[in-house]
A and B are shown apart, each in its own frame.
Chain A
Amino acid sequence: MTESMVRQRTRAAGRPVVTTDDADVERRRARLAAGIRHAPVYLVLAVGSIVSLIPFLWMVIASTHPTSALFGTPLPVLPGGELLANLARLQAETNFSRVMANSLGLAVVYTVFSSMISVMAGYGLAKFRFRGRGVILGLILVTMMIPMQVLLVPLFQMMASLGWIDTYQAVIVPFLANAFGIFLMRQAFLDFPDALIESARIDGAREFRTFYRIVLPVARPQVAALVIYTFMTQWNAFIWPLLMLNTEDNYTVPVALNTMIGLSRVDYSGLMLGSLIATLPLLVLFLVFQRQFIAGLLGGAVKG
Chain B
Amino acid sequence: MTASASPARLRAGSERRTRTLGNRLQRPGMVFVLPAVVLFGLFFTYPLLASLWQSLFASHGGITTFVGFDQYLRLFSDPLIGKSLLTAGILLVVQVPLMLALAVGLAYLLNQGWLRFRAGFRVLHFLPAVTTLVAYSVVFRVLLATDGGAVNQLIGLVGLGPVDWLNNETWARVALIASITWRWTGYNMVIILAGLQSIPAELYEAARIDGAGRWAIFTRIVIPQLRPVLLFTGITSTIGALQLFDENFILTGGGPSDATLTPVLYLYKVGFRQFDFGYASAIAWLLVVLTAIISIVQFRLSREKS
Contact = CB atoms under 8 A, between A and B. Distances in A.
A151 interface: yes
A128 to B, nearest CB: 2
Contact of A176 (B4, B39, B242, B281): B39
Contacts of A200: none
B122 to A, nearest CB: 9
B158 interface: no
A48 B245 CA distance: 26
Contact of B36 (A56, A121, A158): A121
A104 interface: no
B25 A128 contact: yes
A70 interface: yes
A53 B150 contact: no
Given A44-B109, A254-B135, A120 B143 contact: no
A272 B284 contact: no
Contact of B51 (A71, A151, A257): A151
Contacts of A268: 142
Interface string A54-90: 0110110010000000111111000000000000000
Contacts of B21: 201
A274 B187 CA distance: 24
A153 B54 contact: yes
- Among the interface residues A34, A55, A56, A294, which one has the most CB atoms of the partner chain B within 10 A? A55
Interface residues of A, number: 97
B124 interface: yes
A243 B131 CA distance: 22
A174 interface: yes
A226 to B, nearest CB: 13
Interface in B145-168: 145, 147-150, 153
B101 interface: no
Nearest to B8: A190
Contacts of B44: 143, 151, 177
A190 B8 CA distance: 7
- Among the interface residues A49, A149, A156, A236, which one has the most CB atoms of the partner chain B within 10 A? A149
B147 A236 contact: no
A299 to B, nearest CB: 10
Interface in A142-200: 143, 145-147, 149-158, 173-177, 179, 182, 187, 190, 194
A127 B51 CA distance: 34
Contacts of B295: 145
B98 interface: no
Interface string A201-242: 100000110010000000000000000000000011011000
Contacts of B27: 130
A152 B277 CA distance: 10
A262 B134 CA distance: 13
Contacts of A176: 39, 43
Contacts of B35: 117, 120-121, 177
A130 B12 CA distance: 10
A236 B133 CA distance: 7
B273 to A, nearest CB: 11
B109 A45 contact: yes
B218 interface: no
Contacts of B105: 44
Given A41-B115, A150-B48, A257-B135, A48 B194 contact: no
Interface of B: 1, 4, 7-8, 11-12, 14-16, 21-22, 25-33, 35-37, 39-40, 43-48, 50-51, 54, 105-106, 109-110, 112, 114-115, 121, 123-136, 138-143, 145, 147-150, 153, 182, 186-187, 190-191, 194, 232, 239, 242-243, 245-246, 249-250, 264, 267-268, 271-272, 277, 280-281, 284-285, 287-288, 291-292, 295
Interface of A: 34, 38, 41, 44-45, 48-49, 51-53, 55-56, 58-59, 62, 70-75, 117-118, 120-121, 123-133, 136, 139-141, 143, 145-147, 149-158, 173-177, 179, 182, 187, 190, 194, 201, 207-208, 211, 235-236, 238-239, 243, 253-254, 257-258, 261, 268, 271-272, 274-276, 278-279, 282-283, 286, 290, 293-294, 297-298, 301-303
23 contacts: A70-B142, A71-B145, A120-B35, A121-B33, A131-B30, A147-B242, A150-B284, A152-B268, A155-B43, A177-B39, A207-B31, A236-B134, A257-B138, A258-B134, A261-B250, A271-B138, A279-B132, A282-B131, A294-B190, A297-B187, A298-B187, A298-B190, A301-B191
Given A52-B182, A149-B245, A149-B287, 5 more contacts: A55-B140, A55-B182, A74-B153, A126-B8, A301-B232
